[in-house]
Amino acid sequence: MFFERPESGEIAVLVHIDFNDQEDRHGPEEFVELAISAGADPVAVVTGSRQRPDSKFFVGTGKLDEIKDIVIREEAQVVLFDHALSPSQERNLESVLKCRVLDRTGLILDIFAQRARTHEGKLQVELAQLQHMSTRLIRGWTHLERQKGGIGMRGPGETQLETDRRLLRDRIKAIQKRLEKVNSQRDQSRRARSRSDVPTISLVGYTNAGKSTLFNRATGAEVYAADQLFATLDPTLRRLDLEQVGAVVLADTVGFIRKLPHRLVKAFQATLKESAEADLLLHVVDAADVNRDENIAAVDDVLNEIGANELPMLKVFNKIDALPTGEARIDRDEQGNPTRVWLSAREGIGIDLLEQAIAELLSEEIVKETIIVPASLGRFRAMLFEQGAVKGETYDELGQSVLELCLPRKDYLQILARVGMSEEQIQAA
């Protein structure tokens, strides 16, 4: 990190407050998992109910005394709030509790910092951390308020706090430039895949829904997968050959979560672009999670934020082995198109059904047929060969070309438009 912070302890007290005027009324269970994922040892969970947060301490004075008593009794080193705290609220709470206070955003950022492995992932996390820290520089750093002075120190009259803020802004700009370069390289890779007509399938879903396990099962990769929140952060791409479609690229992306910090969404924009520009989204859902409907809504919110909500999507209900009556199957809409696949990635149940559903959805965008091309349409025939769309050619008794085609429908329509023809005018063999 750019600024060294005091290390947080492992003994933690968790605080979860329900607000009656908010739609989000979830319990503290997921927050406990987050704390454990960060390496904390939760010794107590303080719950309560309020109409609105207190402007000074977020909680009332009675609840604050309760938290303080637990901190003293358990010798806790950090208090974690399952909410977003303002910088002043964090400072006020730390002054009373005499230990470090961290809100939900800070906790998630800490987990991401631990899990990032690639250069890009580390840059993305550091950017989000520095942006979060920029509003909280004053906390815990009393020396930052001192004015420069003394022999050799006079001059611009810049306080140490102002200096650190300026250095922070410079570091943020430097990271953003480096991420722009990484983003440019990703764009080049995406354009190359587009030119080679290789469809991209992106795995999205709530954290710990089993995306990486499914990715490994489908591709034979060895991406780290574990029963914990945000087990993997860095995107991984692998080639997958489907019998009816051919080669596709499968992308495993970062998991989503309720109240995902906006700074993280912005910092991971380059990574999430793999989802925003995919040909098909596989929305992986933990079928056994009691909050699965809320989790689906949370993922939809993030997809909407990154502009991927209009893409073709197939919901994959994973972990059917944890259901009392789990059965591998494909659910279809009124037109017969696949909408849901029920499977178990861990047990390898229903993977063939998933491949079948993917092939059906992608084949709608791919022209696979045999056509007859008379000699008068030599330009049309040449353009199909230039596109690499001809998989085989024979001739009929009239000497006409019989072409076996396989190409994206959009490219096929573009070629037809260039020769001034429609699909109806092309004779099928």
Binding-site residue set for GTP: 205-212, 230-234, 252-255, 318-321, 344-346
Q: Which residues of 226-247 are buried (b: 16+ CB within 10 A; e: fewer)?
A: eeebbbbbbbbbbebebeebbe
Residue 101 bridge partners (DSSP): 79
State the alpha helices, DSSP H only, in 4-154: 29-37, 61-74, 87-97, 104-115, 119-133
3-state secondary structure of 205: strand
d(CA 275, CA 308): 7
- 8-state DSSP, 385: H
Separation of CA 359 from chain center: 24
Hey, what are 192's tokens? 């190359």
Separation of CA 285 from chain center: 14
Q: How far, in Å, are 95, 172, 294, 394 from residue 160 at the CA level?
A: 22, 18, 46, 79
Residue 145 bridge partners (DSSP): none
Side chain identity at residue 162, one-letter code: E
Any idea what the Cα angle at residue 33 is, between residues 214 and 104, rounded to 5°? Answer: 110
- 8-state DSSP, 425: G
- Known binding residues: 205-212, 230-234, 252-255, 318-321, 344-346
Residue 98 host element (H or E): none
Asked if 102 and 78 count as a contact pair (C-beta separation under 8 A), the reply is yes
- Known binding residues for Mg(2+): 212, 232
Cβ burial, residue 166 (10 Å; 0-12/13-18/19+): exposed
Please give the span between the terminal C-alpha atoms of the chain, in angstroms, as a whole number. 65
Count, residues in the chain: 429
Q: How far, in Å, are 87, 140, 269 from residue 145 at the CA level?
A: 16, 11, 35
Q: Beta strands 280-286 and 313-318: pairing type?
A: parallel
Any idea what the Cα angle at residue 354 is, between residues 349 and 359, rounded to 5°? Answer: 150
